[in-house]
Amino acid sequence: MVNAASGWRQGDHAAAEPVRRQDAPAEGAVPRRWKFSELLAEPAVGERWEKVRRYFFLRESTYDMTNRCNIRCDGCYYYEGAKQFACENDDPEAWRGLMRQEKSRGITYVVLAGAEPSLVPELLAVCFAEMPLGCIATNGVRRIADAVGYRLHISVWGNDATSFRVRKARGMLGRQIENYRGDPRAVFVYTFTRENIGEAAAVVGTLADADCRVTFNVFSAPVGYSGPLRHDAASLLRTREVMGEMRERYPRHVLFSPYNVVAHTHGRGLHDLFGCSYPRRNASTAIGLGRSFRQFRADLTWDRDAACCVPDTDCADCRHYAAGSAVVTARLYRHVTDPLSFKAWLDYVDTYLAVWVMGYEPGEALCPELIDPPEGRGSGT
Amino acid sequence: MPESKEARELVLRIAEIIIGELKLEEITPETFDPDMDLVDELGVDSMDLATVALVLQDEYGVFIDEDDYPTLKTVRLIAEYLSAKMAAGKNA
């Protein structure tokens, strides 16, 4: 049965299946093979391609800044696995040296994360001075100085009652808004868990009323986690519907394309759909993330076997927004099969850039339909 | 063995496409070292290589498998790869 509101079929594997596309070839017909130049010939598509390709120079790595946090959340990625036990290096000159080394090996974009970067403002200033493009993942409780001109991702896990229960912090949303209302660096990241789907409308509404921009994350269980936040097929379907509603209701404030909705609420996780290209799942060091990506711990060491954007996530359950930003984007080749797939990919990349790069403004979605991701898995490059 | 005229032309055309797609400055197809490592020496990354591969695919009408990208490390290797693909296509 097709859900008229969301365009998705319902059933046992509801979360996995978008509806059949209007442009799909008739059964038995040989699908047309499109030339890349033909796909680019449509002016809006060619224009968007030129807009996004200017950012192909971005090469990311991620860095845990400290092993401290001012709140403690259920299902936190940082406090899983070995990385939480790394001795933090709080020497600004050591960080300056690391940033210079990173630059010399071609890194152009840094993601400063675990456990709570706002607790080490001096290190943030050093990183920004050395590497001007990047993002800080923060809980938003403590304001990061304006001089640090990185994109800021402020994590939101539901309404205040839920935040108190899951994050043990009172009045989270109000404090986050107070700190970052009208701040062009800020993008609030609403993480859909199995439990907070029904709260999203009110929270996103509050953020939009405060003129704060929002993107979406989907809770991806840490290895071994089987608690109540973990999604199932029904919760993914409901998440997808709510994401669609939020897109329609707050188009100026929600940074999430229809293809983002598909990729992040699909019954199959990102690795299964696209083939994760982070070193943890990709042995190749020839080119791409497998070659350049490192995930540094707070002691400035890194481990290839653990290196991905959200270490200690169960890869089979990974629908994390940061993972998708790299994994879906890297799969250009898979999406040049037909105009709609390519448009959907361009929308995804446009969203990724708007969420991660200061000053990048997204365009209108080129593919408003919810379409299937391409078949097959990647080699990991 | 000396390089044939066709092989030289293919190398020059691939270099021209790379220069155009990656917007390289101060280099011409003639001065482009066909044995330069595109990743190590030129700093080409996966998205750049995918773009170049798609343009080459259009121009030469061959299918370049995503899994083969890591082997396309120099202009000469790309030329050899394309030549083999085109020859296989003619013989098919």
**A201-210 pLDDT tens trace:** 999 999 999 9
Please check whether residue B69 touches A, CB under 8 A.
yes
Structural domain boundaries, residue B37: 5-91
Identify the weakest region by mean pLDDT among A27-41, A90-104, B54-68.
A27-41
CB-CB neighbors (< 8 A) of B46 in chain A? 277, 287-289, 330, 381
CATH number at residue B63: 1.10.1200.10
Q: Do A292 and B45 touch (CB under 8 A)?
A: yes
Does residue B62 sit at the A interface (CB-CB below 8 Å)? no
Instruction: Quote the DSSP letter at residue A292.
Output: H
Give pLDDT, residue A230.
93
Give the phi and the psi of residue A120 in degrees, each rounded to 5. Answer: -125, 65
The rounded percent of chain A whose pLDDT value lies above 90 is 66
Calpha distance A179→A39 (Å, rounded):
44
Q: What is the CATH number of domain A34-356?
A: 3.20.20.70
- Cβ–Cβ below 8 Å for A330 and B44: no
- Could you tell me if B40 lies within 8 Å of chain A, comparing CB atoms? no
pLDDT digits (tens, 9 = 90+) for A222-256: 888 888 999 999 999 999 999 999 999 999 999 99
Q: Which residue has the tokens 């990647």?
A: A378
Among candidate residues A21, A19, A24, the one with its CA nearest the CA of residue A4: A19
Q: Decide: helix, strand or coil at residue B44.
A: coil
**pTM of the predicted model, to two decimals?**
0.90
Determine the Cα–Cα distance for residues A333 and B54; give it in Å rounded to an integer.
8
Task: Provide mean pLDDT across the span A141-148.
Answer: 96
Q: Please tell me the total count of domains within chain B.
A: 1
- Residue with the two structure tokens 């293919």: B10
Interface predicted TM-score (ipTM):
0.88
